[in-house]
Amino acid sequence: MTTTRGLWGLAVVMAAVALATACGGGGDGGTPTTPTPGGGGAGGGAPASATITIEANGRVNPSTVTISQGGRVTFVNNHTRNHDMSSDPHPTHTDCPEMGQVGFLAPGQSGTSGPFNIVRTCGFHDHDAPGDTGLQGRIVIVAPQ
């Protein structure tokens, strides 16, 4: 009886460890671990900067970038409309204040964020179209390798 209880307890502990490892031990679960266009990946060291383009179709590309801690992100507006790219949440934009340096972008303009010094994931959106999923995305900031 003691052996069965001991094996059962061991199985429960192993399952808990496997679950914790698979879940990554925290975060939002949506953080990419593979390279993304314009962003790099967390495995081999991320680039210091990335560019996100608002394309002619009014969608951001790529929607997720990964940069090293201290890096910056440049937004380029190739759309025919103005855009005001801001940090989540709308309308306070408090998650990642570094986004405040991007500014208002007229067609053909670009703007660069301040340095992202805290390891985290920052959501972004167009302040003037906060529900438009084509203008939403994430900036993943990782510790230098």
Q: What is the pTM of this model?
A: 0.69
**Superfamily covering domain 38-142:** Cupredoxins -  blue copper proteins (2.60.40.420)
Indicate the domain borders of the chain. Answer: 38-142
Contact predicate 123/137, CB 8 Å: yes
66 class by beta-carbon count within 10 Å (0-12 exposed, 13-18 middle, 19+ buried): buried
Task: Calculate what percentage of the chain has a pLDDT beyond 70.
Answer: 70
* Positions in the chain short of pLDDT 50: 1-2, 4-43
Q: Report the pLDDT value the prediction gives residue 66, as an integer from 0 to 100.
A: 97
37 three-state secondary structure:
coil
Euclidean distance between CA atoms 53 and 85, whole angstroms: 11
Q: Report the pLDDT value the prediction gives residue 68, as an integer from 0 to 100.
A: 97
Q: Report the pLDDT value the prediction gives residue 13, as an integer from 0 to 100.
A: 41
Give whole-number Cα distances, 110 to 14, 16, 99, in Å.
Answer: 50, 47, 13
